[in-house]
Structure 1
Amino acid sequence: MASVRGCPLGIACLALSGLSWLSPRPAAARDVDHLRWAEQLVDNLAPENNEYSTASFVSWAGVSGARRYMNRTQCATFLTELLKRSYGWSESSFGDWLGSRSPSAAAYYAAIVEENGFERIRDLGDARAGDVIALRYPAGESSTGHVAILRRAPRLKLPVSPFVLGTFQYEVSIVDSTSSHHGPSDSRMSSGGRSATGAGYGVMRVYTNTSDTIVGHTWSTASATVYYPATARQVAIGRLVLAGEDRDADDDR
């Protein structure tokens, strides 16, 4: 069973008892199993088996006796279920790591910012497939935020409305579970223009300044979408860190 840096899981918890020298040096996850499981699910989901729901359940046909692909999740529970499937973690693993057996979007955002189990990616140009993007909403909103997984490195695009002076715009292709699709190209949009909910593919837009630091985002690439500055809805990108690998080896590949 894999473990994460910060509050290690499984056998690496020996570090908490003063035996940290026994734990292998952690490294950024390179095989991004959680992205592969996510894409396998979305590519095979029938609409009737896909729903944005507070009841958390995901299955892959042929895995653990499941006969069909199914998704009943919200954004954070979708990520949690993927991490469970990919790395053999249990609900108690998340309790030990993030203080909740079912972490919220805000909890994942905090983990990235605090680099608890994640390496924070501060420059958007360093982001790549498998990284987690987390949004933190202000207190009082109906949700604590949103989380999604990058499917590829962000792509610089020609700026379109809404324009923000002094910024660059990037398309960020993601897989997530949501009740609100990410524009007309979202995989949850039917040919009739109606949207389904649950797991799927979408494209968000991220704005950076000249230092490649994220300063805002939009939910989609459509010109009518709302721009949220990072002062209103905070954005953080993190790379899952697994114990047992050499962090520096990732830079030598």
Structure 2
Amino acid sequence: MTAIQIEALYKRYGDVTAVDGLSLAVDDGELFGLLGPNGAGKTTTMEILTGRLTPERGHVTVLDVDPVERPTAARERVGILPEKESPPSFMTPREYFEFVGAVRGISDDELDERIRTWADRLGFSEKLDTLSTDLSRGQQQKVMIASAFLHEPALVFIDEPLANLDPIVQERVKRFLREYRDAGNTVVVTTHDVDVAEELCSRVGIVYNGTLVEDVRPAELATDQTLLDVFLDRVDATVERGVPAGD
């Protein structure tokens, strides 16, 4: 089964082409990485898939829903962790989770259990009743990760999931994402960090200037080849064809 289908996607911002004919598919149960440098179109693609942006051309489906035509229906079925968002400064983590739980239709008993589970898993139990404005950037990131999974969606989009996290929490998050995938769910990670993509993802789509330049499974690479080798080779080849470097 296909969780995500993207066909000839095209998005511009004025004179800048952010996504340029992108096509790819993600199957159910994959931990898929969208890898590319800054300005490659990764975040724009995720925002289209989650119904936040409308493309000029192309067609996408997310869990058999068109997020352009039915953005609310698409967002109801997925979890989303944008890179630069943080919990509202005037709320505590507990209050924010209660808000998310109400929006997602989680019962009070289930919500309390899930809050405890996530606070223990990521180590912020003692911060549940602290105003978010007083949390470190790493603690805020933990809250946002938990909020993306709180309703236990079948598909989650995560933009730079390990940013601002210390090494111990990074390992906890990576272990959880693998377990979540192994339970039959789908996770899409967007990142510019080649090491994260290689270690974490079962399949990686390398994007450059808004288009897919390589689709690779890190585990199937030759013993003398790394994902970084593939990434640099494909980007260099694109530049040699006259395509300018990303921002």
TM-score bucket of the superposed structures, by smaller chain: under 0.3
Which structure carries more relative contact order (alpha carbon 8 Å, separation 6+)? 2
Instruction: Give TM-score scaled by structure 2 length.
Output: 0.27
Instruction: Give TM-score scaled by structure 1 length.
Output: 0.27
Higher helix proportion (structure 1 or 2): 2
